[in-house]
Amino acid sequence: MVSPEGKIVAQLQIQEDGRLSYQVWAANGSNRTVVIENSPLGIVRKDQQFDTLKFIGREKEKTVGESYTLSTGKRLVNRNHYNEYTFKFANLEGGLLDLVCRVYEEGFAFKYVFPEKDQQTYIVEHELTGFNLPEGNAWMQPYDKPTAYAPAYERNYEGEMPVGTPSPGREGWCFPALFEVNEHWVLLSEANLKANFYGSHLDSVADNGLYHVVPPLEEEAFGYGNTYAESTLPWDMPWRMILIGSELGDILESNLVTHLSDPSRIEDPSWIQSGRASWAWWSGYLDGSNDTPEKLKKYIDFAKEMEWEYSLIDAGWDTRKGFNLAEMADYAKAKGVDLLLWYNSGGPINRVNAGPRDKMFDRDIRKQEMERISELGVKGIKVDFFSSDKQDFMELYHGIMEDAASNKLLVNFHGCTVPRGWSRTYPNLISMESVIGEEGYIYHSHYEQGAPLHCTILPFTRNVVGPMDYTPVAFSIQQVPHRTSYGFELALAVVFESGIQHFADKVEMYQAQPKEVIDFLKSVPAAWDDTKFLSGYPGDDVVIARQRGEDWFVGGINGEDVGKVIELNFGFLEAGESYEATFITDGENNQSFSTVSKSISNQSKEHLEVFPVGGFVIHLEKIN
């Protein structure tokens, strides 16, 4: 199997004993470099095993070249170009299994399909799928120990470490996982996960670099729900995705996870708008200082002042003294600001008491609540605390996205699974947390130690596969002090992509910043026409350029405790044009800024001195 331009080659093999395997190479002319060594395929159903197979035929290869548009993300208009191969197999009992493979210039993906038609319910217990990596380096996130709040993908990424390193606990490793092997980069993840399957992750042990795909843990959600998946036939399962590149930019810039996902189910998505949001929760969490309706109105006022589109009202609004939702919605509407509301996902095993509770779990109640708040003018919901990747919770995610779309509500999931392509299918899914973000400075006593390294790994891992609600740009000290500089924190507004950027800090802290910083926060978008990787290495540093209209925004962060000189090449700019560039860097110390403006073209090169754990931003405006 070969990609349309021949850059990726994959091969299926049936061993003499009927076991199926695959291998993947990156190709450069006649030269091939193995990136996935011989790896097992197969799936175990409760009634039958599909591990010993007989090849019975194949469908005609097809080449697809299409464009699609996302409502938010690193690149709004996308080209989806691949060769698709479908192979048909039967097991010893005569049961049928299709393996559908797609080969892109940027990677390889496959999925299992049970093609027969039957209204009886069938059960998949687990897969035999593996990814056999050559020797190299890995950057991976440990899968959470199940608690009332987890799994929520809120642990720091670990690395650089050897391929095959066991996970710290028996829980395993998360998707996405990044590897550097044979002078190539590989990112493993899952795409187009529907309500008919569970969310998978990688096993804890990977002897000789062989990582096996495993189902959720029994203990998740305190044992509620099954670790297996069930469905009628035909049954179309998630894509197993292998993103491949010779350069880190091939990984960071890719939208392969949305290429593989179902097209939008929203016929007219014109009501879906990305944006920036004021948010009172983070800065007032410790002392409850932002809990009053008057303080919430202050944050709405600030959103208007900053020309931000949204203001988020977080947990506990339903029992807050003096709070009236209709009145608050009218107040926001008068200011030209759209409201977002927090909800607990609820359900019989959810042990988090924060409310509103039990408005999202039951579908009839959910529909009534969504209709009610939509009529009041609320534009979106933040739904929190899911605590499992079992199929029951995948059904809940999909139900929330679908019902929200029917009521023209945006959705932001927190305490949740990792993105798996849903923002293409349901473009009202504007962001997802699945990251330890700024709230780490509240809940984790040593978060500041690993935060700089963590933040320089995320653009190459978690944020590759979808929007990430890190809630950036927090200068204030909460429970845990920052080691990162103000320039580092400001740069996260560009380095991290989220369809809504919830700016975490308090009104007074933002208002105290220099005019150039305030102007930057007014102008920085939350959705992008294009994204370019400029330089970096996971755990060291990263510089990213993002385009919106004729403007470009550049963000750079240094994850190490040594100062650096970073060379910037502006070759990504339009040839023959000039840009007014505003450079905002760290100032005399790590809690101040320095600003310089100059004219830049695509021939320009600059050398920036960057503080230890420091950062910078650049706003480039085309001179007409």
CATH number at 212 reads 2.70.98.10
Asked whether residue 570 falls in the same domain as residue 442, the answer is yes
Asked whether residue 328 falls in the same domain as residue 404, the answer is yes
Report if residue 32 sits inside a domain.
Answer: yes
- CA 445, CA 573: separation in Å to the nearest integer? 42
Asked whether residue 320 falls in the same domain as residue 254, the answer is no
The pLDDT, as a whole number, for residue 232 is 99
Asked whether residue 236 falls in the same domain as residue 365, the answer is no
Q: Strand, coil or helix: what is 284?
A: helix
Exposure string (b/e) for 334-364, b if CB count within 10 Å is 16 or more?
ebebbbbbbbbbbbebbebebbbbbbbbeee
Asked whether residue 75 falls in the same domain as residue 169, the answer is yes
Report if residue 267 sits inside a domain.
Answer: no
Asked whether residue 119 falls in the same domain as residue 248, the answer is yes
Residue 265 · residue 402 · CB < 8 Å: yes
Report if residue 124 sits inside a domain.
Answer: yes
Report if residue 1 sits inside a domain.
Answer: no
Task: For residue 570, give its domain range.
Answer: 438-498+524-624
Asked whether residue 480 falls in the same domain as residue 553, the answer is yes
- CA 381, CA 394: separation in Å to the nearest integer? 18
Domain final residue pick, 434, 458, 480: 434
Q: Crossing angle for the helix pair 391-406 and 363-376, nearest 10 degrees?
A: 30
The pLDDT, as a whole number, for residue 609 is 98
Number of domains, the chain: 3
Below-50 pLDDT ranges, the chain: none
Report if residue 519 sits inside a domain.
Answer: no
Beta bridge partners of 554: 545, 618
> Is the Cα dihedral 289, 290, 293, 297 positive or negative?
positive
- The enclosing domain of 403 has a CATH number of 3.20.20.70
Report if residue 2 sits inside a domain.
Answer: no
Q: What residue type is 330 in one-letter code?
A: D
Give the DSSP H/E element, type plus range, for residue 599. Answer: strand 593-600
Asked whether residue 484 falls in the same domain as residue 579, the answer is yes
Relative to beta strand 158-162, strand 136-140 is antiparallel
Over residues 513-534, the pLDDT tens digits come to: 999 999 999 999 999 999 999 9
Asked whether residue 248 falls in the same domain as residue 286, the answer is no
Residue 465 · residue 420 · CB < 8 Å: yes
Report if residue 518 sits inside a domain.
Answer: no
- CA 18, CA 130: separation in Å to the nearest integer? 17
The pLDDT, as a whole number, for residue 624 is 81
Over residues 134-179, the pLDDT tens digits come to: 999 999 999 999 999 999 999 999 999 999 999 999 999 999 999 9
Contacts for 438 with CB less than 8 Å, ≥ 6 apart: 282, 470, 471, 472, 474, 504
Asked whether residue 544 falls in the same domain as residue 562, the answer is yes
Work out the burial of residue 184: count CB atoms within 10 Å of its CB; fewer than 13 is exposed, 13-18 middle, 19 or more buried: buried
Asked whether residue 376 falls in the same domain as residue 307, the answer is yes
> Is the Cα dihedral 592, 596, 597, 602 positive or negative?
negative
Asked whether residue 587 falls in the same domain as residue 449, the answer is yes
Domain final residue pick, 230, 259, 288: 259
Report if residue 264 sits inside a domain.
Answer: no
Residue 388 · residue 216 · CB < 8 Å: yes
> Which two tokens mark 475?
């200068």
Domain final residue pick, 207, 230, 259: 259
